[in-house]
A and B are shown apart, each in its own frame.
Chain A
Amino acid sequence: MSETPAIEAEGLVKHYGKTKALDGLDLTVGPRTVYGLLGPNGAGKTTAVRVLATLLRPDGGRAWVDGHDVVAEAAVVRRTIGLTGQYAALDEYLTGRSNLVMIGRLSRLTTRAATRRADELLERFGLAEAATRAVKTYSGGMRRRLDLAASLIGHPSVLFLDEPTTGLDPTARALMWDIVRELVADGTTLLLTTQYLDEADQLADRIAVIDGGRVIAEGTPTELKVSVGGQRALLTLAEAGDAAVAVKALQPFAAGTIVPNGSASGHGGRLLEVPVIATDGLATEILRALDAAGVRVSDIAVRSASLDDVFRTLTGHAAEEAGEDDDQAELAEEAAV
């Protein structure tokens, strides 16, 4: 298909002092899809969104939204996009309704159209009753919904959602997910960043895993899971001292790197995680091999790979733990904003 991608980025680079927030980021997002940018804090997700939303000028590379260059044609791009950032972008002292009408008027709607659209969105997002209250009286979930409504008021065809559910309780989070699914049904292209694997799994048609300012893997959630080995065998050894022998004995079964997985859960190096291709009788064969090597096993389980596994395999660290470098990138990013 020769359809223009809704979002395209080629080799985006952005520095904050010595920190490289973006290090050659490439993206292609098809129209009317949900695209997830998945990565830990400081991976460069927010920087990527700020470049694509014309807020930040890249130091290198180019990007287009609906075929328009985000630097050279920023004014055109701004007519196409909606942006919901990590912090609710609202006037605390205005009512919910006044906020929406204000953003609508600034999005080039007439007063009449802005008011009509504001009421429609307030109704849809369950904020009609709170419409005449000042935003500073709103709960976190209400703010997020109003913020999302504000980014929709100008009928954007491309919507950026930067960590839309960070800090929300499970109920508010589920409500946001429902809203996002309806948007997609409406035909909006959505670029959503998240550090929650289940969120990307639930919502996105395609996912780019970002680490250190570049895409390290890309595909549908299923493709990504398959790419790191379809399944995982999780073993708990009886003796931590047997780990090295066990890893050696398990090597013939492993479809990837075997990860010692015990430190976080207090099992003192007794846990092993083995990427495997599941076959009938696999658990039995593993146990036989370990028994032959003199390793005693307390527990064994074989399960499908999760996006969490994808993430850990690709980056060498868990999704929700950020390294020191990442924190620095995040700080530099915040300082520059």
Chain B
Amino acid sequence: MTATTLSAADLTTGRGSLAQFLNDVWVLTKRSIARIRREPETLSEVTIQPVMFVLMFAYVFGGAIAIPGGGNYHEYLIGGMLGMSLAQTAPGTAVAVVSDMSTGLIDRFRSLPMSRAAVLTARTIADLLTQVIGAAVVAGVGLAIGWRVHTGPGDVIEAFALALLFGYAFTWAGVCLGMVLRSPEAAQQTGFIIFLPLTFISSAFVPTQGMPGWLQPIAEWNPMSSLAAACRQLFGNPNPAALVDAWPAQHAELAVVCWSLAMLAVFAPLAVHLYRNKGR
């Protein structure tokens, strides 16, 4: 075979381990983005789904939901939709991880002299990019149904930054789910069972004040409620959580940061640990 030989200039081994990690993450993130470009329908969960949810809640349930403290339900809805549309990408992450793990590709990655954490990190970064698209879609359809921001650009940026931090933390939970489950179908099902109550037993769509007394503390401490309250507050939208005497309702922004960092601290190392020991 007319194999060219390698010289030192052809290798990246001389670089530091951080540079190698970033190289590997970049190479693999490009892989995921190429997949999206070839099959744009994989984006439906952050494009078509949020639009459907916003329209259904705004026009079907909206009229029946009273907001304590008053205000427009369409304006109330968007803060909650933002959290839901980002967190619900986690089951998709789990499915992608299970699919990857079930092909020989992951074995090949694990036999290469590459960073162990890069495969999963690249997955979460690609998913973060889809979440940015999801956030833009929610904002766009929100504007179309009459949602308005009544604060400055700084507050709006903070709201989206919090939402993406929150979504990114959920992505790592999705990775863990994908590492422990065996089939894409199981990942889809389990994701649905976990994320549906997580979204609905919160103030994302309905103020907690209308829930039974025993359910209210659960909903108030649900991270989804904190994100919804923080966004409403930062957008200057109706925020009934301000009337609730619970720590996460009163300190919504801080609560979102705490929840997100706590989830990252648990799920990111756990995911890498599971990946390292997969099948060993």
A and B found bound together: yes
Interface, chain A (partner B; CB < 8 A):
50, 53-57, 75, 78-79, 81-83, 85-91, 93-94, 98, 102-103, 105-110, 112-113, 116-117, 120, 124, 134, 150-151, 154-155, 182-183, 185-186, 336-337
B251 CB-CB contact with A under 8 Å = no
Bound Cα distance A89, B4 (Å): 24
Which of A57, A81, A89, A116 sits near B280, CB closer than 8 Å?
A57
Given contacts A109-B12, A336-B279, contact A186 B3 (CB under 8 A): yes
Which residue of chain B is the closest to A134 with respect to CB atoms?
B38
Interface residues of B in 1-16 (CB under 8 A from A): 1-6, 9-13
Report B-chain residues with C-beta under 8 Å of the C-beta of A113: 6, 9-11
Given contacts A55-B111, A78-B112, A113-B9, 8 further A-B contacts (CB under 8 A): A75-B113, A89-B103, A89-B107, A105-B24, A107-B113, A108-B11, A116-B4, A154-B113
Bound Cα distance A93, B41 (Å): 13
Given contacts A55-B107, A55-B111, A89-B107, contact A109 B10 (CB under 8 A): yes
Interface centre among B23, B28, B39, B111 (most CB of A within 10 A): B111
Bound Cα distance A86, B108 (Å): 11
Which of A98, A106, A155, A183 sits near B24, CB closer than 8 Å?
A106
Report A-chain residues with C-beta under 8 Å of the C-beta of B13: 79, 108
B266 CB-CB contact with A under 8 Å = no
User: C-beta contact mask, B103-127 vs A, less than 8 Å → 1, else 0?
Assistant: 1110111111110000000000000
Bound Cα distance A89, B100 (Å): 10
Given contacts A102-B27, A120-B4, contact A56 B279 (CB under 8 A): yes
State how many angstroms separate the Cβ of A128 from the closest Cβ of chain B. Answer: 14
Report B-chain residues with C-beta under 8 Å of the C-beta of A150: 108
B216 CB-CB contact with A under 8 Å = no
Contact B3 A120 (CB under 8 A): yes
Contact B103 A110 (CB under 8 A): no
Contact B104 A86 (CB under 8 A): yes
The 9 closest A-B pairs by CB, nearest first: A113-B10, A89-B104, A89-B108, A87-B104, A78-B113, A106-B114, A83-B111, A79-B113, A57-B280
User: C-beta contact mask, B27-58 vs A, less than 8 Å → 1, else 0?
Assistant: 11011001100110000000000000000000
Given contacts A85-B107, A86-B104, contact A154 B112 (CB under 8 A): yes
Which residue of chain A is the closest to B23 with respect to CB atoms?
A105
State how many angstroms separate the Cβ of A30 from the closest Cβ of chain B. Answer: 21
Which residue of chain B is the closest to A120 with respect to CB atoms?
B4
Report B-chain residues with C-beta under 8 Å of the C-beta of A185: 1
Interface, chain B (partner A; CB < 8 A):
1-6, 9-13, 20, 23-24, 27-28, 30-31, 34-35, 38-39, 103-105, 107-114, 279-280
State how many angstroms separate the Cβ of B93 from the closest Cβ of chain A. Answer: 17
Bound Cα distance A261, B109 (Å): 46
Which of B11, B24, B104, B109 sits near A109, CB closer than 8 Å?
B11
Which residue of chain A is the closest to B5 with respect to CB atoms?
A155
Contact A186 B104 (CB under 8 A): no
Contact B113 A88 (CB under 8 A): no
Which of B11, B279, B280 sits near A110, CB closer than 8 Å?
B11
Contact B9 A110 (CB under 8 A): yes
Which residue of chain B is the closest to A80 with respect to CB atoms?
B113
Bound Cα distance A83, B23 (Å): 22
State how many angstroms separate the Cβ of B121 from the closest Cβ of chain A. Answer: 13
Contact B112 A106 (CB under 8 A): yes
Interface centre among B9, B34, B108, B110 (most CB of A within 10 A): B108
Report B-chain residues with C-beta under 8 Å of the C-beta of A91: 31, 35, 105
Contact B107 A83 (CB under 8 A): yes
Bound Cα distance A56, B35 (Å): 29
Which residue of chain B is the closest to A160 with respect to CB atoms?
B111
Interface centre among B11, B34, B112 (most CB of A within 10 A): B112
Report A-chain residues with C-beta under 8 Å of the C-beta of B28: 102, 106
Contact B38 A78 (CB under 8 A): no
Contact A54 B111 (CB under 8 A): yes
Contact B279 A108 (CB under 8 A): no
Report A-chain residues with C-beta under 8 Å of the C-beta of B113: 75, 78-79, 107-108, 154
**21 residue pairs from A and B, CB less than 8 Å apart:** A50-B279, A53-B111, A54-B110, A55-B110, A55-B279, A55-B280, A78-B113, A87-B103, A89-B104, A91-B35, A93-B38, A98-B31, A106-B24, A106-B114, A108-B13, A108-B114, A112-B10, A120-B4, A124-B2, A186-B3, A337-B279
